[in-house]
Chain A
Amino acid sequence: MNDKITNWTASDDAMVENAIRRGATRRELLTMLLAGGAALSAGGLVLGRATNAVAATPKSGGNLRAAGWSSSTADTLDPAKASLSTDYVRCCALYNRLTFLDQGGTVQMELAESIKSGDAKVWTVKLRSGVTFHDGKSLSSNDVVFSLKRHLDPAVGSKVNAIAKQITDVKALDPLTVEITLANPNADLPTILAMHHFMIVADGTTDFSKGIGTGAFKMETFEPGVKSIFSKNPNYFKAGGPHVDSFEFFAITDDNARINALLSGDIHLAASIKPRSMKLVESQPGFALSQTTSGNYTDLNIRLDLAPGDKADFVMGMKHLINRQQIQKSVLRGLAEIANDQPVPPASIYHNAELKPKAFDPEKAKFHFQKSGLLGQSIPMITSEAPTSAVEMATIVQQSGAEIGMNFDVQRVPSDGYWSNYWLKAPVHFGNINPRPTPDILFSLLYASNAPWNESQYKSEKFDKMLVEARGLLDEAKRKEIYGQMQVMISEEAGTVIPVFISNVDAISANLKGLEANPLGGMMGYAFAEYVWLDA
Chain B
Amino acid sequence: MRTYVLGLIANRLGSSALTLLIVSFAVFFATAMLPGDTATILLGQAATPEAVAGLRAAMHLDEPAFLRFARWLVGLLHGDLGTSYVNNVPVADLIGTRFVNTMRLAGITTFFAVPLSLALGITAAMFRGSVYDRVVTVLTIGIISVPEFMIATSAVLLFSVYLKWLPALSFASDATSFAQVLKIYAMPVITLTFVVSAQMIRMTRAAVIDTINTPYVEAAILKGASRWRAVLLHALPNAVGPIANAIALSLSYLVGGVIIVETIFNYPGIAKLMVDGVSTRDLPLIQSCAIIFCVGYLTLITFADIVAILANPRVR
Contacts and interface: CB of A to CB of B under 8 A. Distances in A.
Among B57, B263, B266, B280, find the residue whose CB has the most chain A CB atoms closer than 10 A. B266
Say whether chain A's binding surface is mostly helix, strand, loop, or mixed. loop
Contacts of A6: none
B46 interface: yes
A252 B273 contact: no
Contact of B282 (A73, A75, A162, A264): A73
B156 A73 contact: no
B42 A154 contact: no
Interface stretch (A224-232, A293-301, A372-380, A458-466): A224-232
Q: How large is the interface on A (under 10, 10 to 19, 20 to 34, 35 or more residues)?
A: 35 or more
Contacts of A209: 87, 89
A157 B156 CA distance: 41
Contacts of A256: 153, 264
A257 B46 contact: no
Interface in A54-112: 67, 72-76, 81, 83
Interface in B138-185: 153, 156-157, 160-161, 164, 167-169, 171
A345 to B, nearest CB: 19
B49 to A, nearest CB: 10
B276 interface: yes
Interface in A158-200: 158-162
B146 to A, nearest CB: 16
Contacts of B41: 74
A252 B267 CA distance: 10
B43 A157 contact: yes
Contacts of B135: none
Among A75, A81, A154, A227, find the residue whose CB has the most chain B CB atoms closer than 10 A. A154
A157 B280 contact: no
Nearest to B160: A264
Contact of B276 (A73, A155, A161, A417): A73
Contacts of A72: 276, 279-280
A155 B44 contact: no
A227 B276 contact: no
B43 A155 contact: no
B87 A266 contact: no
A161 B84 CA distance: 24
A81 B273 CA distance: 20
B87 A224 contact: yes
A260 B153 contact: yes
Contacts of A250: 266
B44 A83 contact: yes
A266 B160 contact: yes
A481 interface: no
Contacts of B86: 73-74
A-B pairs with the 3 shortest C-beta distances? Answer: A154-B54, A264-B160, A155-B58
19 contacts: A67-B266, A73-B84, A73-B86, A74-B276, A155-B55, A155-B57, A157-B39, A157-B55, A159-B43, A252-B169, A253-B263, A257-B153, A257-B264, A257-B266, A260-B157, A261-B160, A261-B169, A261-B266, A266-B160
